[in-house]
Amino acid sequence: MARMNSTSLAASKKGIIMRKLVIAERVSLIGHIVSTVFGLVGILLVIPNAQVIFNLSELAQTAIQWSMAGGGVVYMILGAAGVFLYATRILGLGRALAFLLPSVFISLGSELLGTSTGFPFGHYSYLSGLGYKIAGLVPFTIPLSWFYLGFVSYLLARAGLEVDKKPNLWRHISAIALGALLLTSWDFVLDPAMSQTSLPFWYWQQPGPFFGMPYQNFAGWLGTSSVFMAVTALLWRNNPINWERSQLNIPFAVYLSNFGFATVMSLTAGFFVPVLLGLLLGVTPAVLLWLKGSPTPVQVPIESPEISVARVKVTAK
């Protein structure tokens, strides 16, 4: 009896912790999307009409200044926190860390190498607005964005290609390649708006032919994301995942909301070709992969215990 009570108490505590994690996850993801909208309003409406700010109250001016100075940082921190909590809830802490750590450290290494040597992305430098710079070169929020957008891209590709239901080398390689393509397609749209407009967050020291970007940049994105997704695939290889389409709704929403932010920015700046490429190579595959995800819960067979009943011979005296 005491053992049953302790077991139910542990289950109750676990349920309470899980509910708190779900609340934190939802708050983070909603805050991430809301901050995306506020960022668009600030960049597209407030900054071009700066004179309006001076007619506002001192409190409103302070709020706008804070949001413009730290809005991008909050946006990426909330995205990373929400996606990590989602990953922990759906996949477990081990699998979540198996993506977080390779994606953060490998992308940070590539970014530090790129900003100091020009390899693998080309010669570029970050400006202010994205938070503290690691080694004075790379804002700490940049590896976080590689993590959470890389994670949702790889999850959509892995689930859509049914890697865990029908595992083989070809499916694993295809999921890595497709996940890397989804992530790179987002950069097709984001990079021109973030580097070629009146309020840039980074700039190219040697502008390239693709709306200011060198083609080398895309090779760097594909290569970096493929490496950390391949590392994750190796770490996850002995832990197949059973998917439901409903579990892919959050990755799908995160991908579309971030793509939408980049799209509005690029269209406002007149960059139509990158948006079309992103829609073709990013959004279209993402929609198809999401639809391909298992529409019904995976049923796990439960074996019923066999109970043998010995024959009892009863004789009357």
Report whether pLDDT(72) > 70.
yes
E strand spans, the chain = 124-126, 133-134, 138-139, 202-204
The predicted pLDDT at position 314 comes to 37
* SS3 assignment, position 202: strand
Mean pLDDT of 184-205: 90
pTM value is 0.85
Report whether pLDDT(90) > 60.
yes
The predicted pLDDT at position 297 comes to 45
The overall average pLDDT reported for the chain is 85
Confidence of residue 97 (pLDDT cuts 50, 70, 90): very high
Mean pLDDT of 53-62: 65
**pLDDT of 285-298, one tens digit each?**
999 999 987 554 44
CB atoms within 10 A of CB 31: 17
Per the omega criterion (within 30 degrees of 0), is the bond before 120 cis? Answer: yes
- pLDDT over 90 percentage in the chain: 62
Which stretches within 44-92 are classed as H helix? 58-91
Q: Which residues are 210's β-sheet partners? A: 213
- Asked if residues 115 and 217 have their Cβ atoms less than 8 Å apart, the reply is no
Confidence of residue 242 (pLDDT cuts 50, 70, 90): confident
Residues in the chain: 317
**CA 65, CA 54: separation in Å to the nearest integer?**
11
Report whether pLDDT(169) > 80.
yes
The predicted pLDDT at position 55 comes to 67
List the structure tokens of 110.
């590539």
**CA 13, CA 63: separation in Å to the nearest integer?**
39
Q: In the chain, where are the structural domains located?
A: 2-292
The predicted pLDDT at position 305 comes to 39
Nearest residue to 144 (alpha-carbon basis) of 77, 220, 95, 231: 77
Confidence of residue 202 (pLDDT cuts 50, 70, 90): very high
Report whether pLDDT(313) > 60.
no
